[in-house]
Amino acid sequence: MKTRQLAAYGALGLPLAFAALPLYVLVPDFYSRQLGLALPVIGSVLFFTRLLDTLQDPFLGLWVDRLAQRRQLASALKLAMLLLGAGFVTLWQAPGGSPHLATWLSLSLVTVYLGHSFLNIALMAWGSRLSPNPDDLARAAAWREGCALVGVILASLLPTVLLQWSSQGMAVFSGLFGLLLMAGVGMLLTQAPPWQISHAQQRPRWQLGWQDRAISRLLAAFFLNGLASAIAATLSLFFIADHLAAKPWSGLFLAIYFLAGAISLPGWVGLSRQIGAAASWRCAMTLALLAFAGVGMLGPGDLWAYGLICLFTGLALGADLALPPVLLAARLPASEPMAAWFGVWSLLAKLTLALAGLLLPLLSYLHYQPGVAGSTSALVWLYGGLPCLCKLLALGLMVERATDRQPRPAAAIAETGGTP
Lowest mean pLDDT among 168-172, 204-208, 222-226, 319-323: 204-208
Per-residue model confidence (pLDDT) at position 410: 36
Per-residue model confidence (pLDDT) at position 405: 44
Within 10 A of 165 (CB to CB), how many other CB atoms are there? 10
- The Cα–Cα gap between 390 and 104 comes to 33
Binned at pLDDT 50, 70 and 90, residue 289 comes out as very high
**Domains of the chain and CATH, by start:** 3-195+208-405 (1.20.1250.20)
Tell me what the mean pLDDT of segment 79-107 comes to: 86
pLDDT at 408 over 60: no
- The Cα–Cα gap between 262 and 318 comes to 6
Per-residue model confidence (pLDDT) at position 307: 93
The pTM score is 0.75
pLDDT one-digit tens code per residue, 326-346:
888 888 777 777 788 888 888
Question: What is the secondary structure of 358-405 as a DSSP string?
Answer: THHHHHHHTT--TT-TT--HHHHHHHHHHHHHHHHHHHHHHHHS-SPP
pLDDT at 198 over 70: no
Q: Are 323 and 267 in contact (CB under 8 A)?
A: no
- The Cα–Cα gap between 243 and 26 comes to 18
Nearest by Cα to 351 from 111, 50, 24: 50
281-320 b/e with 16+ CB inside 10 Å = b?
Answer: bbbbbebbbebbbebeebeeebbeebeebbbbbbbbbbbb
Within 10 A of 164 (CB to CB), how many other CB atoms are there? 9
Binned at pLDDT 50, 70 and 90, residue 412 comes out as very low
Q: Are 306 and 380 in contact (CB under 8 A)?
A: no
Per-residue model confidence (pLDDT) at position 166: 63
Binned at pLDDT 50, 70 and 90, residue 308 comes out as very high
Within 10 A of 227 (CB to CB), how many other CB atoms are there? 24
Tell me what the mean pLDDT of segment 177-205 comes to: 81
pLDDT at 401 over 50: no
- The Cα–Cα gap between 307 and 253 comes to 6
User: With 0-12 CB in 10 A as exposed, 13-18 as middle and 19+ as buried, what is 373?
Assistant: exposed
Q: Are 231 and 351 in contact (CB under 8 A)?
A: no
Binned at pLDDT 50, 70 and 90, residue 163 comes out as low
The half-sphere exposure of 330 on its side-chain side, counting CA atoms within 13 A, is: 22
pLDDT at 349 over 60: yes
Binned at pLDDT 50, 70 and 90, residue 411 comes out as very low
Return the CA Rg of the chain: 21
Lowest mean pLDDT among 213-217, 240-244, 271-275, 350-354: 350-354
Q: Are 46 and 354 in contact (CB under 8 A)?
A: yes
Tell me what the mean pLDDT of segment 140-162 comes to: 82
End-to-end CA distance of the chain: 19
65-96 b/e with 16+ CB inside 10 Å = b?
Answer: bbbbbeeebeebbeebbebbbbbbbbbbebee
- The Cα–Cα gap between 371 and 29 comes to 11
pLDDT at 127 over 90: no
